[in-house]
Structures are given as C-alpha cells and as structure tokens.
Amino acid sequence: MGESAFPSELEEKLSTWQEVYSVGALEELTASELRSKALLYENEVDRTKAEYNRGRLVTPTLAQIYGLEPWTHEELRRFRRKIETEATKIRMNFARAEGRIEKQGYERKQNRLKAIEGILDSAGEFVLVLLHLLRKIVFWK
C-alpha cells in the first residue's frame, strides 16, 4: 500500500457519506429528523474511526493469518485524520442544512402572518362597511 493510498472500503464509505449527507439531501428533512440524522452520523464516524485504531496494528504474519492489512501506526493515524477531515466537511453540511431549514421555517411563519393580517384587514373593512350600513338603517327611521 503506497503512502497516498487509503483502503478501498474507507474511500467508498467517505464517498457514500458525501452523497447521503449532501446539503440538498439534508435540507429535505424536518428539523427533528435532521438532529436525529446528525446524531446517527456522529455515531457512524466514531465507529469508522474505531475500525482504524491502534488495536488493529498487527505483524505481517498475524495479518496474513487473520486476513487483515498490516497497517503501521502512521497509516492508521492518516486514516483517522482523513476520516475526521471528511467528517468535518459533512458537519458543515448539517449546519448549512439546519440554517436553510430555519430560514424556510421563518419565511413560512412570516407568510402565515401576512395572510392573517390580510384576512384581518378584510374583516375589519367588512365590519366598518357593516357598521356604516347599520347607522344608515338605524338613523333612516
């Protein structure tokens, strides 16, 4: 394994994270779903980093017996650093999606308030017209 290479399963996992946790995909969720997915993601990051901890360091002979890669301390450190770098990018996606969801919620609330104001204005005008007509009827006699 060369100095610049990462395990293919790690590369696949990081690529999957970029697709699954894109801002577009995340902003389709509700705020509570987004928080739940963020917690699940953090657990997944922790599990992935645990797969590449120093406990997996084995001699070439033991690696061959158990079917493991004989990674060095430095390789394992690079793998965990790569995982954390990608995880930080995904965390930013969660933050962006959360901001967009909050903005959409705020805009929906403002639109509802404007609609209610419009209804109240219409109702107020109706009441004024009705009172005007009642005055004419009452004072007509």
Q: Domain-by-domain residue ranges, the chain?
A: 8-113
Which letter does DSSP use for residue 12 in this model? Answer: H
Whole-number Å distance between alpha carbons of 72 and 83: 17
Structure tokens at 5: 């290479």
Residues listed for the chain = 141
| Span 77-124, pLDDT tens digits | 999 999 999 999 999 999 999 999 999 988 988 888 888 888 877 787
| Span 33-89, pLDDT tens digits | 999 999 999 999 999 998 888 665 567 777 778 777 778 888 889 999 999 999 999
| pTM: predicted TM-score of the whole model, two decimal places | 0.69
Contacts of 53 (CB under 8 A, 6+ apart): 76, 80
Structure tokens at 47: 């599990």
Residue 2 confidence class, pLDDT cut points 50, 70, 90: very low
